[in-house]
Each structure stands twice: as structure tokens, then as C-alpha cells.
């Protein structure tokens, strides 16, 4: 995944080796340049959590929500758990493999 749309803007996702070591952060987001940076040295699940975190940071920035960092961290963990433990959820949002029973859409 190299881009994502947030608040109608295309954000470029850059995967950078040694980013955590050099920037002293697992990832970052810049609303001015519409970029998200993620360290490629991290385990895949940590990269995924970091991407969710940076998406939330971008939403916070774009909509001027003024969420404190600890709240973003809690949301990151909660969303990561929901997404990882419910893979059918993304299929549902993408209208894939939805079964209709008695006229009602079901996962």
C-alpha cells in the first residue's frame, strides 16, 4: 500500500529502513506534504499498528480534532484489534462475499 485517501487528500505512504532509529519514532505523518512514513525494520504487525496510528494522526490534523496523543494511541490499539480479529469486516465494507439471506445482507 503506497497511498491512502484521508479527508479527500491523497497521502503517500513511505516505507523507510531504519526510520525508527533515525527519527526516534516508529512512524510519522505530515499534513503539509500529505505523507506518512513507516519504518520497514519493524515486524509486520507493528508496521500495521503504526500505519493505523499515523492515519489517526492525519485525521486528527485534517479535521482539527485536537485529540491528545494518548487518546490516539488508545484508538490505534482498539482499531487494530477490531481489524485483525474481524477480517470479514473489510470484505463487508468492500462489498465482497456478502451473502443475502431473506433480503438481508449478512457477512
Mean pLDDT by 10 residues, the chain (107 residues): 96 96 94 98 97 98 97 98 92 70 58
Give the chain's length. Answer: 107
Inside any domain, residue 106: no
Inside any domain, residue 10: yes
Give the CATH number for residue 62. Answer: 3.30.2010
Sign of CA dihedral 7, 11, 15, 19: negative
Inside any domain, residue 57: yes
pLDDT of residue 94: 84
Q: Which domain holds residue 41?
A: 3-99
Inside any domain, residue 20: yes
Number of domain units in the chain: 1
Amino acid at each position: 500500500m503506497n497511498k491512502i485517501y484521508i479527508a479527500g487528500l491523497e497521502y503517500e505512504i513511505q516505507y523507510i529502513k531504519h526510520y525508527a532509529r533515525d527519527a526516534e519514532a516508529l512512524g510519522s505523518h505530515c499534513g503539509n506534504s500529505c505523507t506518512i512514513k513507516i519504518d520497514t525494520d519493524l515486524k509486520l504487525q507493528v508496521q500495521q499498528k503504526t500505519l493505523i496510528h499515523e492515519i489517526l494522526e492525519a485525521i486528527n490534523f485534517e479535521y482539527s480534532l485536537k485529540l491528545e496523543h494518548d487518546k490516539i494511541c488508545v484508538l490505534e490499539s482498539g482499531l487494530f484489534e477490531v481489524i485483525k480479529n474481524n477480517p470479514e469486516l473489510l470484505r463487508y465494507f468492500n462489498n465482497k462475499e456478502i451473502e443475502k439471506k431473506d433480503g438481508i445482507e449478512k457477512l
